[in-house]
Copies of this chain bind each other. A is one copy, B any other.
Amino acid sequence: MSSAANATKPRTSALADVIGENKNNTQRTEQKPAKKAGRPRSEKSRKAIINAVNRMLLHRSASELSIEAIAKKAGVGKTTIYRWWPDKVSLILEAVNANGANVPQPTHKPAGERLLWQLERFLRLLRGRNGKVIIEMMSQAQSNKDALGSFYESFMLIHEENLAEIIEIGKNAGAFRTDLDTGMAVDMIYGGVVYHLMSGSDELDESFIERYPHEALRLVR
């Protein structure tokens, strides 16, 4: 699925549809096939690359992976990687989120509960090694405008939008403080997690994951 999508628009963000929140990715299959001439993208290579990245991440940190080493490990030419991913950040994010499922939001619940649910989902994404890997990706992206945009759009944007929407609803419903600056609240809530991971802890510990959403909820009330 992801591969077909990529094949039709190579070199653009291949991540949006991987993260899972992309709501309209079903439309794509309805599009005119527009089968391009030439040899189609090798699904085998794609999997080999993703697998290589995931296997390598077990032993080394994300910043220690080199495109060269990934290519060798995957038994693949470097060009094949460069053809399909614009940078290491995109590749690793796709690998890490390869099996991230898309869970629909409980839109019918009150804002408070939705906020808790949203944060729990976010924290679950950053559980275990994933947290450090994604923080490293966000960090690496800091020195590269393109990569930063690609990281933000494919990973953070949807979370930010969801959270902002929930906060607005809460404010309108009188459940949250009305003098709250939504943007700053989003920064603080996600920033708290990001900063915690950047400050040295290799993983989010369970007590943090459990208590953080409630602490965030108190912030907005």
**Is the CB–CB distance between A215 and B142 below 8 Å?**
no
Most chain B Cβ neighbours within 10 Å, of A143, A177, A179: A143
Interface of A is mostly: helix
Shortest C-beta distance, A48 to chain B (Å), equals 17
**Is the CB–CB distance between B139 and A142 below 8 Å?**
yes
Contact bitstring A9-35, B, C-beta under 8 A = 1, else 0: 000000000000000000000000000
Answer whether residue A6 sits at the interface, using C-beta atoms and an 8 A cutoff. no
Contacts of A135 in B (CB 8 A): 142
A61–B136 Cα gap in the complex (Å)? 18
**Is the CB–CB distance between A148 and B192 below 8 Å?**
no
**Is the CB–CB distance between B196 and A187 below 8 Å?**
yes
A192–B200 Cα gap in the complex (Å)? 17
Contacts of A199 in B (CB 8 A): 152, 156, 187
A219–B217 Cα gap in the complex (Å)? 10
Contacts of A190 in B (CB 8 A): 191, 195
A63–B147 Cα gap in the complex (Å)? 14
Answer whether residue A119 sits at the interface, using C-beta atoms and an 8 A cutoff. no
Answer whether residue A194 sits at the interface, using C-beta atoms and an 8 A cutoff. yes
Which residues 46-66 in A have Cβ within 8 Å of B in the complex?
61-64
Contacts of A212 in B (CB 8 A): 184
A148–B199 Cα gap in the complex (Å)? 8
Contacts of A179 in B (CB 8 A): 218
A83–B62 Cα gap in the complex (Å)? 28
